[in-house]
Structure 1
Amino acid sequence: MNRTALATVVGLVLGWAVAFGDFGKMLIVALFAAIGYVIAKVISGDIDISPYVSGRRDHR
């Protein structure tokens, strides 16, 4: 899915959230959309989070 299609889908989802809810619900939908986007980037390998989740392995 290219960026234009992704942006269109996100815009539609946020529009539905505003139409049938309030601004707070739209922010919740936007937050979950952003979390889903980051998870997709991690799974596809575009973002490397290993330095953040590997922990400290400095033994003395």
Structure 2
Amino acid sequence: MSPSVIGLLIGAALGVVAVAFGFWAMVLVALLAAIGYGIGRAIEGKLDVRGVADALRGRRSS
């Protein structure tokens, strides 16, 4: 599946949640999806958790 199709499906799902349950439910679903995506990437070894933590703390890495 291409990134465009995945983005389309995610947008459609968030749209359905927004219509059915309201804006804040959509924001919660989007936040939880992003957290789940990050956890999945970290488990696969494709995300440097220490680098992300340093970036969030304002430390620069090169």
Category of TM-score, reference length = shorter chain: 0.5 to 0.7
Aligned identity (percent) is: 35
Superposed CA offset, 1:15-59 (max 9, x none): 11111011111100110111111112112211022576xxxxxxx
TM-score by length of 1: 0.67
Higher relative contact order (CA 8 A, sep 6+): 1
More helix by share: 2
Q: How many pairs were matched up?
A: 52
The structure that has the greater radius of gyration is: 1
TM-score by length of 2: 0.66
Unaligned runs of 5+ in 2: 54-62
Q: What's the C-alpha RMSD, in Å, of the aligned pairs? A: 1.9
Look up the equivalent residue of 1:3 and give its one-letter code. P
Unaligned runs of 5+ in 1: 53-60
